Structure 1
């Protein structure tokens, strides 16, 4: 672990490789699991505000889940998250013609229907953050469904922190990311 500003960062994000391999996993992270995508407090209001613009992109069962549960829900841990369909898949998930799970929020963004891409937790994955009173923990989340992404990352030699560079900058800023690059460069020398 190392510290950058008010964050405590796991060395795993510079030591492990990762590149999403949707052809192998089919977007399983959007449909597997028991919890929705974690949300920042400010993102809950955004989800409410973009719903009408995003609604045409979503599957009927996703729209139904959002109408029934709300644009966001409080998870078992007391934190905000996206609602689920069938207690498994994110309500905002859509599927390509080849059956690959994708984000309906991102599809709306890509078409210019909204100016917000998706929750930062989704953009950051496989990094998970957790807020504490004195610091934010920045950790690598290992999940077996992402084994193909780890293999592809290793093959392409792309560390986790480089794969999610834009999301880390969005979350923590350019200066923070620059310091992370310095730590990674020092780590690779030793």
Structure 2
């Protein structure tokens, strides 16, 4: 493809594979394994930590005893080895807000939100995945498409549905950057893909 590797929408830098790659979470296959894999929690902002703290009482009974103990000892978030603020984890991997429905991993925060019990859904870093956001020291924001081996089923499903990453993530992208920005992203994506197809 002749689409440039980096695209700028407003003041946000975007990796072009967010437009060109296909993705759709296949929860029936993966069982929500992203909540319990990895060596750190989900990146969060200070504002999100406050939102999570306000929601903790609502979801408390859905959390494991181990998760409750971790929260009691260090709170809902901590600073990891890279200096990033992330959600607390259990046993070096499980997010403290993981709860279970049989073999399926669920986010207790999102579960409560979907039931209308809280106004906060989940960290935007979780909602945006497989897009990862990077904020540079000058304030520039960059969005990159992250490939994790546990999400292979999501890539296969996305290809089967012919669903680009940015379309799959419409809701969290609008939540993070606004409706106007997202529409501009769609317009640019359509223009670039159309131009590229004509060249082929």
Q: TM-score band, normalised by the shorter chain?
A: over 0.9
The CA distance in 2 between the partners of 1:35 and 1:134, in whole Å, is 24
* TM-score of the superposed pair, with normalisation by structure 1: 0.96
SS in 2 for 1:169: helix
Is 2:197 the counterpart of 1:188? no
The CA distance in 2 between the partners of 1:122 and 1:47, in whole Å, is 13
- Runs of 4 or more off by more than 6 Å in structure 1? none
5 Å-filtered alignment, 1:1-190, equals 1-97=6-102, 99-132=103-136, 133-189=138-194, 190=196
- Deviation larger for 22-31 or 155-164: 22-31
- Superposed CA deviations along residues 10-42 of structure 1, whole A, max 9, x for unmatched, are 001111111111121121111110010011221
Root mean square deviation of aligned Cα: 1.0
- Deviation larger for 62-71 or 119-128: 62-71
1:57 CA displacement: 2.0
Aligned residues: 189
Unaligned runs of 5+ in 1: none
The CA distance in 2 between the partners of 1:69 and 1:159, in whole Å, is 39
The CA distance in 2 between the partners of 1:175 and 1:6, in whole Å, is 13
Unaligned runs of 5+ in 2: 1-5
Judge conservation of contact 1:54–1:113 (CA < 8 Å) in 2: no
* TM-score of the superposed pair, with normalisation by structure 2: 0.91
Larger radius of gyration: 2
The CA distance in 2 between the partners of 1:171 and 1:150, in whole Å, is 23
Judge conservation of contact 1:66–1:83 (CA < 8 Å) in 2: yes
